[in-house]
Amino acid sequence: MRVEDIKRILVVGAGQMGAQIAMQSALHGYAVTLNDLSMDILEKGMKGNRVQLEKRVAKGQMAQAQMDAAIGRIRLEPDLEKAARDADFVVEAIIERLEPKRELFSRLDRFCPPHAILVSNSSTLMISQIAPATKRPAQCANMHWFYPPLVMRLVEVVKGKDTSEETAQLVAELTLKIGREPVILRKELPGFLVNRILRALGREAYYLLEQGVASFADIDKAVELGLNHPMGPFKLADFSGLDIGYNARLETYEITKDPSDLPPKALETRVKRGDLGRKTGRGFYDYSATPPTPTPD
């Protein structure tokens, strides 16, 4: 299949990642189907998209007609079988746990046309763990977007052990078609490129916190002012969602069995009490205050 043959993209998962991936694709002219468990979830995802695009229109960065046209290209469909029937390319963007992803890929394999490419947006789980649930492992790959997809330009394209070169190149070409920049990993490993680098920084940041060397707010300040990062590691964790980082660490530990990959206490404590970062209004920082204030452990 050539990239020109991709007419309809299916995105499964209408959370912040999936909804924005769908919108980015629609903004670049693709017909998109967005699938999740209910119309309520789908409409919530699209509401978030509208808020983002309305800001662009208000700033003169986008015409109202362009926004309306993109929204009109997205079909909401809670029935996976119906959503998959005419899909040429599928992006999975559901919870970061292996078994739900394997189950979904198995169903997609049954419902999608034989030519369809299946990719996972997973940030930690390798496609070689997921693709065996299908009869088309050569047509499966990782296509890891960064949050928020409507802003972040990078996409990691990762070949699994059975991913064909044709599939990897097709995913990279589609990435360019929808206005993003691909990097291709010829060898898969947990965390891929960017998250492995971030994890090294985060691991040291949590170590310094747990050893009582400095507060997390001062560690953030040091990274922002000393390394010129836009956000320190704890602010970034809040921005991405503490539950995302927590689950990613658990999945990584299942692969490596390295105790250093387990979620740090400061992260686990907040996740267990439901403080998941910006999306819940509270994580390492309290976002009801202006500016946000550090929260106690």
Residues belonging to the active site: 123, 144, 156, 195
Contact residues for 186 (Cβ-Cβ < 8 A; gap 6+): 159
Cis amide linkage into residue 291, ω under 30° from 0: yes
Query: Tokens 């680098």 identify what position?
Result: 197
Q: Do the beta carbons of residue 70 and residue 23 sit within 8 Å?
A: yes
Q: Count of CB atoms within 10 A of residue 87's CB? A: 27
Q: Do the beta carbons of residue 4 and residue 176 sit within 8 Å?
A: no
Cα separations (Å) of 131 from 34, 103, 255? 21, 10, 16
Pick the closest to residue 91 from 40, 135, 149 (CA basis): 149
- For residue 66, with 0-12 CB atoms within 10 Å meaning exposed, 13-18 middle and 19 or more buried, which class applies? middle
Three-state DSSP state, 158: strand
Q: Do the beta carbons of residue 106 and residue 136 sit within 8 Å?
A: no
Pick the closest to residue 8 from 112, 99, 106 (CA basis): 112
Calculate ∠ Cα 93-194-241, nearest 5°.
50
